[in-house]
Amino acid sequence: GAVVSQHPSWVICKSGTSVKIECRSLDFQATTMFWYRQFPKQSLMLMATSNEGSKATYEQGVEKDKFLINHASLTLSTLTVTSAHPEDSSFYICSGEKPGLVREWETQYFGPGTRLLVL
């Protein structure tokens, strides 16, 4: 298998502050990483796709200036929630895509998630 870690696992912050979440692929190089958001009792919704060395591609409705994504290396992507507000409170999950010999064999491996609570 492959392991993806996230840090921190949970964070509480005051409204207006910025929070950075790290996503690391520990034993493989992830050219592509994904950031998902999950509200209570709902499914995962893709926020953005991050490719190493290039700008992230954001899904419709996701503010790129609020959710800054940086994929500086093949093993690290960061999501920064800028000027966080209570409505940003959610569970954020990242995944890294492990390259395969053919595209259909490429698999995403998920991190354990980061719970953000904005007061």
Partner 1 sequence: KQEVTQIPAALSVPEGENLVLNCSFTDSAIYNLQWFRQDPGKGLTSLLLIQSSQREQTSGRLNASLDKSSGRSTLYIAASQPGDSATYLCAVRKTGANNLFFGTGTRLTVIP
Residue 46 contacts partner 1 per CB under 8 A: yes
Residue 105 contacts partner 1 per CB under 8 A: yes
Residue 89 contacts partner 1 per CB under 8 A: no
Cβ contact 99:29 at 8 Å: yes
Using CB under 8 A, which of the segments 19-27, 32-40, 63-71, 82-90 binds partner 1?
32-40
Beta bridge partners of 80: 20, 68
Q: Which of 40, 86 has the CB closer to partner 1? A: 40
Residue 43 contacts partner 1 per CB under 8 A: yes
Residue 93 contacts partner 1 per CB under 8 A: yes
Comparing CA positions, the residue from 33, 96, 95 lying closest to residue 70 is 33
Residue 29 contacts partner 1 per CB under 8 A: no
| Contact residues for partner 1, defined by CB under 8 A | 6, 32, 34, 36, 42-46, 49, 91, 93, 95, 97, 103-113, 115
